[in-house]
Chain A
Amino acid sequence: MTTHNHDTPNPYHKSDRDDAANKAIEERVDKIESLLLEKGLVSQDALEKLADIYENDLGPMNGAKVVARAWVDDEFKKRLLDDATSAIAELGYGGLQGEHVVVKENTPEVHNVVVCTLCSCYPWPILGLPPNWYKSFAYRSKVVIEPREVLAEFGTSLADDVEVRVWDSSAEIRYLVLPERPEGTGNFSEEELAAIVKRDDMIGVTTVTVP
């Protein structure tokens, strides 16, 4: 389904730097961290807490639960499309970079896809921190002008008469795509539905498939 072109050398990505370059960066981080600690701008326990929250607690499993709930509960879906920030708070989600959330529904006529061309804005509480591809220059620059070519890179092809809507997150509103529920999931429980919803489906570069 996806291409795995990270083996192609790319100077913009950390994994393609050599060990000496990575060591130089680590030394720079050591210096800045040490200065921030010594001068009292940050505390060690705050750093550890932040790393723990964003590495372990938040991720696309949260968004998948929101999607699954919308698929099984029409009233929740209405609230989600009307005021997503409040609706996701019902499931216990919200906070930094998710203060103002808007959810856009995919239909047979309309396909939504989300980007931040200027930096990398992304709904942290429900998707966690963004993957490298979302932050890549290739994605940020191209999806607004050639969305269908970008979707094709993710193995997604849409009929010509489907309207593609690209949401460029230029302010503090964070967007989540509500994907279409796939055929053949009529008997799935809410938990089983959440398990088939993937991060990229909720950014809008892929559609939900049944494994």
Chain B
Amino acid sequence: MNNIHDMGGITQFGPIPQETDEPVFHAEWEKRVFALNIASLAFLGPVDRARHAVERLNTVEYLNSSYYQRWLRGVEIMAKDLGYFTDEEIASGKATSTKEMPHPPPDAAAVEGLSRHGVPSTRDDDRQPAYKTGDKVRVRIMETKGHNRAPNYVKGKSGLITHFNGSHVFPDTHAHDKGENAQPLYTVRFEAKTLWGENVTRKDCVYIDLWEDYLESA
């Protein structure tokens, strides 16, 4: 989806806001939103859906919201999409409907286990990678209405595969309940000159992880 979350390459957001002795959370409500988001993924997830919910925010709202405000909106959007909340309930905070839950919510031990063990995205399959280290590839130019993790600044650009990372769950389908579609994930190196212009002379590069469906031979 084309939105402002895909902001790599913009230079005019101003100075980077640094802070000394920064707390983990800047307000009690931020801590609560963090916890709500992670705990509710048991029903609202996977994480790909959560990322996409934030990406779908109105562009101006995205820019005018703080980080945890966007996370809160993400929870609202997912809960509504999946039929857990209505607009009226969100506005009032009062439940007027019920939906049968398939299992109880995770308890403290369950979320501690989640934190400790995570949710690996690799899948053991026998899918052979189409490309190998050293291959030159181009990022396909794709119109995507849904979730997609190929940033615009690399689309149509060519780079070299530096590493094959095994098969990983494909966010473009996983975010939309269309299956894991695990496929080869490659690390691709792009030269600054390729990304930003022939007149670039500085010795910089960007490495980025890209799924096989995003790539074509170059």
Contact = CB atoms under 8 A, between A and B. Distances in A.
Given A35-B90, A164-B204, A97 B29 contact: no
A47 B39 contact: yes
Contacts of B84: 39, 41
Contacts of A163: 203-205
Contacts of B32: 29, 33, 47, 51
A39 B98 contact: yes
Interface string B200-215: 0011111111110000
Interface string B106-125: 11101110111111111000
A62 to B, nearest CB: 13
A50 B39 contact: yes
Residue from A25, A129, A164, A167 with most neighbouring chain B CB atoms (10 Å): A25
B15 A35 contact: no
B interface majority secondary structure: mixed
A128 B204 contact: no
A43 B13 contact: no
Interface size class of B (residues with CB under 8 A): 35 or more
Interface of A: 2-6, 8, 10-15, 17, 22, 25-26, 28-36, 38-43, 45-51, 53-55, 59, 94-100, 117-120, 125, 128-129, 131-133, 135-142, 144-148, 150, 153-154, 160-173
Given A5-B15, A99-B120, A36 B30 contact: no
A100 B122 contact: yes
Contacts of A47: 32, 35-36, 39
Contact of A50 (B35, B105, B192, B206): B35
Interface of B: 5-11, 13-20, 22, 24-36, 38-40, 42-44, 51, 54-55, 63-64, 66-69, 72, 75-76, 79, 84-85, 89-93, 95, 98-99, 101, 104-108, 110-112, 114-122, 149-151, 153, 165, 168-169, 171, 185, 187, 192, 195-196, 202-211
Residue from B55, B68, B105 with most neighbouring chain A CB atoms (10 Å): B105
A17 to B, nearest CB: 8
Contact of B206 (A39, A53, A144): A144
Nearest to A37: B105
Contacts of A99: 118-122
A150 B16 contact: yes
